[in-house]
């Protein structure tokens, strides 16, 4: 029969193996990606006869949402005190369904001719998952129980969208495909109450920014007034196929904008639920809706004073947008209105070019001042090695080198603590029943031997701010989404699928403890011995890139700690 100690070790190994297999099974069952076929299905084309007859009662709203008392069009009080009137719509003969399809290398977009809204956006360069590389990520969508669309129109006393009525635009074709490097222009036209309206979407290959412009020709004998509105309408559901692990920190899901008082202000669903509608006036500005790695944003004309708003609608959805100042168009004249719409990745370099402070939507938290330079150094290293995992390792080495002087001093303090450890143990045995006397004698010993019991904590504390900042860099930077490393690590932005890196990290922490002196009472020593296990469990679901950083940091720390301690011991022996 095996000795008791051997049986205990075998039992612990068996329990650890069983727990590991259970975690893998749970991971397969509950962390699966959405079905690729269902996720990628296109919106059903909506026939023209799905709309109410425009020749019917002119007071009946055309928009089905407006029929239930919830109009997509913002109230005219946001821009002026004049009462909004409903223009008489003139039907434009068209054939085919309501959806126009647009294809560029970066975009697959669907535009609804009823109102000219963008009702779906796919991003072909960003697969929904590594298991479905040909299925593009869906950012905007209006179907399958979800609502996320980009709307724009003209309101005011004579706006073609005033009063909840949305014009039905005509288009020369139902599909637009970009060719070469030339911009792709989608042109929609409508005639409403003596106004010839042209709405243009300009898509540029290589960019996720779309220019949206209106040209309104006043063919009446009276001046007309109108104001542009641009808004994002969305429900509060989590995005499909792009969420984070439920037990880990969650990415921000909600709106944000820049204001005169705050460069980056969040506007959460709960804010509108509890405080009611939001209003603020901003010169220029932007308003965006953020989720993990991606965002959509309306960017206003920088020269105009705009009114930004957010509110919850009667149907449970939310709108976040802005209105521009009223413009008066004289008879026979043509007025222009414009905005820009971004729908794509959180590319902080590109966002910074588009509008001031828009790059702050890449939210690195309270340590942003440390995370931003870390990202740029990491990006610079990636430019040399071409692998984000190798870049993380090099960044770890660089950080360790910068902190070496402080770490070396702390490791020397730890070496001194190891030297006086036998004397400390004797004191603990002598004054086991008198804690006050034990504390006094230990302080005398520290003073006599010139050691600092807290000095050895510094190596653990120094990397923590960098660790937290790097966590948000890996968590927020779309550049690291689905970035592979080597072997089984195919995506550094998510957890290790086999939890190998966290286990190695736990082993490296155990090695660190073997070199560190046991400081404190027996209870504290036992708690410290539990730290590697606690950290290993915690790191099981952290991004693999972050665990890689901590593992390399620990291994470098073990090597540095061993070198400094041995060097200090030799110096002490020479003095003796």
14: Cβ contacts below 8 Å, ≥ 6 apart: none
254: Cβ contacts below 8 Å, ≥ 6 apart: 266, 267, 268, 269, 289, 290
* pLDDT value, residue 401: 84
* pLDDT value, residue 518: 56
Among residues 115, 97, 114, which one has the least CA distance to residue 45? 97
Which pair of structure tokens corresponds to residue 528? 């410290």
DSSP 303: T
* pLDDT value, residue 46: 46
User: Is the domain defined by 46-363 classed in CATH 2.60.40.10?
Assistant: no
* pLDDT value, residue 393: 92
* pLDDT value, residue 462: 65
Domain-wise residue ranges, the chain: 46-363, 372-575
* pLDDT value, residue 210: 95
DSSP 576: -
* pLDDT value, residue 44: 53
Instruction: Give the SS3 label for residue 334.
Output: strand
Q: What pTM does this model have?
A: 0.79
Within 10 angstroms of residue 444's Cβ, the number of other Cβ atoms is 11
Distances (CA, A) of 185 to 96, 188, 198, 436: 20, 10, 12, 81
533: Cβ contacts below 8 Å, ≥ 6 apart: 506
DSSP string, 73-129: SPPGGGT-SSPP--PPEEPPP--SBSEEEEE-SS-EEEEETBTTEEEEEEEEEEEEE
262: Cβ contacts below 8 Å, ≥ 6 apart: none
Q: Are strands 286-290 and 108-112 parallel, antiparallel or unpaired?
A: unpaired
Segments of the chain with pLDDT less than 50: 7, 26, 29-34, 36-37, 45-69, 80-96, 243, 246
DSSP string, 183-214: PEEEEEEEEETTEEEEEEEEE-TT--EEEEEE
Which pair of structure tokens corresponds to residue 473? 């860099």
* pLDDT value, residue 62: 34
CA atoms within 13 A of residue 1's CA, in its CB half-sphere:
4
* pLDDT value, residue 251: 83
258: Cβ contacts below 8 Å, ≥ 6 apart: 264, 265, 282, 285, 286, 355, 356, 357, 358, 360
* pLDDT value, residue 311: 93
């Amino acid at each position: 029969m095996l000795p008791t100690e051997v049986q205990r070790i075998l039992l612990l190994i068996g329990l650890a193996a069983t727990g590991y297999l259970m975690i893998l099974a749970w991971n397969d069952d509950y962390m699966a990606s959405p079905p690729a076929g269902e996720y990628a299905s296109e919106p059903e084309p909506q026939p023209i006869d799905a709309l109410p007859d425009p020749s019917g009662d002119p007071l009946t709203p055309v928009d089905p949402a407006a029929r239930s008392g919830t109009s997509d069009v913002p109230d005219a009080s946001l821009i002026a005190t004049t009462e909004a009137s409903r223009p008489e719509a003139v039907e434009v003969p068209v054939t085919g369904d309501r959806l126009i399809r647009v294809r560029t290398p970066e975009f697959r977009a669907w535009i609804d001719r009823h109102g000219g809204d963008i009702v779906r956006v796919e991003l072909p360069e960003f697969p929904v998952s590594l298991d479905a590389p040909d299925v593009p990520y869906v950012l905007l969508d209006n179907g399958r129980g979800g609502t996320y669309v980009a709307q724009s129109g003209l309101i005011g006393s004579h706006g073609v969208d005033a009063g909840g009525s949305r014009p039905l635009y005509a288009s020369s074709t139902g599909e637009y495909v970009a060719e070469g490097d030339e911009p792709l222009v989608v042109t929609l036209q409508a005639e409403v109450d003596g106004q010839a309206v042209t709405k243009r979407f300009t898509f540029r290959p290589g960019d996720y920014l779309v220019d949206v412009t209106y040209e309104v020709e006043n063919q009446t004998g009276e001046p007309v007034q109108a104001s542009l509105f641009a808004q994002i309408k969305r429900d509060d559901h989590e995005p499909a196929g792009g969420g984070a692990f439920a037990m880990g920190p969650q990415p921000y899901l909600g709106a944000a904008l820049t204001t005169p008082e705050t460069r980056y202000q969040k506007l959460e669903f709960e804010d509108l639920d509890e405080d009611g509608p939001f209003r603020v006036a901003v010169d220029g500005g932007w308003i965006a809706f953020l989720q993990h790695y991606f965002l959509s944003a309306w960017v206003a004309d920088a020269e105009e004073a705009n009114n930004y708003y957010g509110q919850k609608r009667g149907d449970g959805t939310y709108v976040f947008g802005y209105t521009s100042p009223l413009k008066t168009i004289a008879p026979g004249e043509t007025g222009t209105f414009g905005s820009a719409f971004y729908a794509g990745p959180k590319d902080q370099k590109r966002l910074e070019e588009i509008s001031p402070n828009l790059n702050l939507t890449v939210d690195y938290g309270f340590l942003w001042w440390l995370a931003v330079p870390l990202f740029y150094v990491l990006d610079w290293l990636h430019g040399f090695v071409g692998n984000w995992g190798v870049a993380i390792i090099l960044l770890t080495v660089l950080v360790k080198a910068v902190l070496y002087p402080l770490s070396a001093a702390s490791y020397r303090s730890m070496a001194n603590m190891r030297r006086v450890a036998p004397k400390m143990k004797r004191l603990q045995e002598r004054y086991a029943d008198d804690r006050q006397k034990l504390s006094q004698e230990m302080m005398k010993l520290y003073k006599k031997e010139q050691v600092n019991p807290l000095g050895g904590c510094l190596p653990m504390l120094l990397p923590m701010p960098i660790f937290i900042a790097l966590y948000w860099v890996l968590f927020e930077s779309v550049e690291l989404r689905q970035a592979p490393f080597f072997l089984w690590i195919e995506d550094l932005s998510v957890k290790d699928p086999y939890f190998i890196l966290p286990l190695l990290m736990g082993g490296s922490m155990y090695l660190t403890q073997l070199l560190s002196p046991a400081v404190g009472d027996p209870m504290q020593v036992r708690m410290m011995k539990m730290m590697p296990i606690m950290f290993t469990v915690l790191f099981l679901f952290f991004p693999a890139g972050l665990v890689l950083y901590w593992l390399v940091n620990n291994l470098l720390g073990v090597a540095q700690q061993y070198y400094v301690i041995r060097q200090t011991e030799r110096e002490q022996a020479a003095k003796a």
